[in-house]
Amino acid sequence: MLGCAEMFPAPTEQLETLLEGAAEVIPAQDLKERLSKAVEAREPLRVKLGIDPSRPDLHLGHAVVLRKLRQFQDFGHLPVLIIGDFTGRVGDPSGQSETRPFLSGEEINANAKTYLDQAGTVLDMERVEVRRNAEWLAAMSMDDVLRLTSQYTVARMLEREDFRTRYQEGRPISIVEFLYPLMQAMDSVAVRADVEMGGTDQLFNLLVGREIQKEYGQEPQVVFTMPLLLGTDGVRKMSKSFDNHVGLTEAPEEMFGKIMSIPDELIVQYLSLCTTLARSEVDEVERGLADGSLKPVEKKRRLAREIVALYHGQEAAVAAEDRFDLVHKERGIPEDIEEMPIPGTAVKDGKVWLPRLLVAAGLAASNSDARRLIEQGGVRLDGDVVVNPDVEHAPEDLSGRILQVGRRKFVRLK
């Protein structure tokens, strides 16, 4: 029975809300019918989302799907999160140009715990069913595997763009990668999914799930995909590996600053996919930006406040905006700066070379990256731009000084 039946509205109301912002729902008519049956029977739909444990940190791109899943949850349906502790040994090949390395059990468990902790910033985890797919996949016999693999052909697998491209270019595709969509489909069979959610890059895998469910005598799931959120660079999808992400657990001021840095062209997409603003209000902003009656920077501020408030609260959003203004508009230095002892690894022959210090402090990825930051004017000491990356300092000369990298990172050396 529904855990929150009093919140179970009419199917037409649910459908209208759920379809808003969706990329594809296949078939949409099935979703409408299943919502109607759920209301009539007072039984929730089982809405599945697979968790890839190869990436522990969640960002706004992940939250696009999680927030839609939360809408299902708020309507009384049951999110079913599948931790891919078995499939994670392989890694989802979607969008990959080469075979991914196997993960250890320790890596998978650590990543999964982090994922679930962060998913709790969006979902009510007390009303979520969490399953690990090793529960059924590890128990499959060779007979079971042969039955499963007989349901799908190599030709069908090569319809996937990433597989087809790698095959045409002569790059290796392991047999186990062909098994991944089938294993993900068996997850749907095992939990009897009514709906499976994912980004548009997951469409192939989700459709395979429909086919395999039919072969195992189940009603095929509804495929529900959400758009892929572009990263802060405005070019590629949001990804930590592209360094264009906004993490769900990042500090409020870091989150605010990153949102303020996005291209103006992304304002409407972010308002639509990353906030709780009504569609009518988003449409109004879109019209105003198009005709010039609204200033992009003001709408970007509204966007940044909305997103920070979602994950840190309204008070933190106001404080983050104040800090942003202090640093960016007034060119001031915040009062609440973290103190950091000069790392011993930054000192050589009694001198501190700034590029080495930046790396030791975690403010640059490498010495060459640190030199580039300095040469581009992105490093300051006590507000003064560092011009020469080769100058060395005595540690005592740096004590008490404020080291700034970019516009948002400050440390007080001691």
Q: What is the pLDDT of residues 140-199, one digit of tens each?
A: 999 999 999 999 988 889 988 888 888 899 998 888 888 999 999 999 999 999 999 999
Token pair 């999160």 is found at: 81
The CA angle 119-338-356, to the nearest 5 degrees, is 100
Q: Confidence band (pLDDT; 50, 70, 90) for 51?
A: confident
Both tokens of residue 315? Answer: 């008070």
Same-domain pairing of 93 and 179: yes
| Whole-angstrom distance, CA of residue 254 vs CA of residue 247 | 9
- 261 and 352 together in one domain: no
Is residue 351 packed enough to be buried (19+ CB in 10 Å), middle (13-18) or exposed (0-12)?
Answer: middle
* pLDDT score for 93: 61
Q: Which of 310, 329, 348 is the last residue of a domain?
A: 329
Residue 97 identity: S
Residue 232 lies in a domain: no
In the structure, what pLDDT confidence band is assigned to residue 3 with cuts at 50, 70 and 90?
A: very low
How does pLDDT run across 343-399, given as a tens digit for each residue? Answer: 888 888 888 888 888 888 888 888 888 888 888 888 887 777 887 888 788 887 777
Domain that holds residue 187: 5-226
Are residues 325 and 369 both part of a single domain? Answer: no
Determine the Cα–Cα distance for residues 293 and 50; give it in Å rounded to an integer: 43
In the chain, how many domains are there? Answer: 3
CATH number at residue 350: 3.10.290.10
Q: At what angle do helices 267-274 and 279-291 cross, to 10 degrees?
A: 170
Residue 234 lies in a domain: no
Q: How many CB atoms lie within 10 A of CB 145?
A: 15
Beta strand residue intervals within 118-266, DSSP E: 129-132, 195-199, 222-226
Query: Which tokens in the block code for residue 148?
Result: 């499963």
Question: Residue 370: inside a domain, yes or no?
Answer: yes
Residue 223 contacts residue 194 (beta carbons within 8 Å): no
Pairing of strands 46-51, 78-83: parallel
Query: Residue 385: its pLDDT value, please?
Result: 80
* 8 Å CB contact between 339 and 412: yes
pLDDT tens-digit series, residues 222-256 = 999 999 999 999 999 998 878 899 999 999 998 99
The per-residue pLDDT for range 271-330, each reduced to its tens digit, is 999 999 999 999 999 999 999 999 999 999 999 999 999 999 999 999 999 888 887 666
Confidence of residue 332 (pLDDT cuts 50, 70, 90): low
pLDDT band at 97 (very low <50, low <70, confident <90, very high): very low
